[in-house]
Chain A
Amino acid sequence: GDSVTQMEGPVTLSEEAFLTINCTYTATGYPSLFWYVQYPGEGLQLLLKATKADDKGSNKGFEATYRKETTSFHLEKGSVQVSDSAVYFCALTGTTLYGTASKLTFGTGTRLQVTL
């Protein structure tokens, strides 16, 4: 079945440092890939997505590129801020654009803590 593997946390960075959170996946067909973020005390929010190979999703300075050859969707940000402290989840779905009408498969999440 489908699965997502992401690097374990917590990841602790100083403000303005470069961020990479690794995510690899196993899926049949051509899944859509997502990064969700969960800020403390809040619900999951879609951060960015990519629907086909070589697509780059981007939002709020974060970006991730859909790499079919390495089955990866690593999250990057050039300069993190304290306000980026949250838990980040990589996810995939097999059919539709946003994962509707089909279940999302999530990774275990990576906690990011950014300090001054």
Chain B
Amino acid sequence: GAGVSQSPRYKVAKRGQDVALRCDPISGHVSLFWYQQALGQGPEFLTYFQNEAQLDKSGLPSDRFFAERPEGSVSTLKIQRTQQEDSAVYLCASSLVDSPLHFGNGTRLTVT
């Protein structure tokens, strides 16, 4: 594709529901990152994949957050039992090795 594609663009969830956010990186991009951006804040690192290997998940805020990239391409960020503090924009970025990051437009999650 032309760029990093994220879906859905907007997601509203009731507190306690599980959600799954999808990221389609640029074809051939080895590196894939997830970031969380709260309102009025800068993006904060969640996790990083190189191909299918999750090399860094130090930014995941709790064990309710889980990310996978089973075939080294599409990635899914799953949040279980959503809480209001999970409301944010979730950004995905991909790149070739040691090349500029390409960010998607994000998924805006609102937990009510």
Contact = CB atoms under 8 A, between A and B. Distances in A.
Interface of A: 4, 41-46, 89, 91, 96-109
B95 A98 contact: yes
Interface stretch (B10-18, B42-50, B69-77): B42-50
B59 A103 contact: yes
A106 to B, nearest CB: 3
Contact residues of B: prevailing secondary structure: loop
A106 B103 contact: no
A13 B4 CA distance: 32
A102 B95 CA distance: 12
Chain A to chain B: the 8 pairs with minimum beta-carbon distance, closest first:
A106-B42, A103-B45, A43-B103, A44-B103, A43-B105, A100-B31, A46-B100, A98-B100
Contacts of B104: 43
B101 interface: yes
Contacts of B33: 103-104
B98 A101 contact: yes
B104 to A, nearest CB: 5
22 contacts: A41-B105, A43-B4, A43-B91, A45-B103, A46-B101, A89-B43, A96-B98, A98-B95, A98-B98, A98-B99, A99-B101, A100-B31, A100-B95, A100-B98, A102-B48, A103-B33, A104-B35, A105-B45, A106-B42, A106-B43, A106-B44, A108-B41
B40 interface: yes
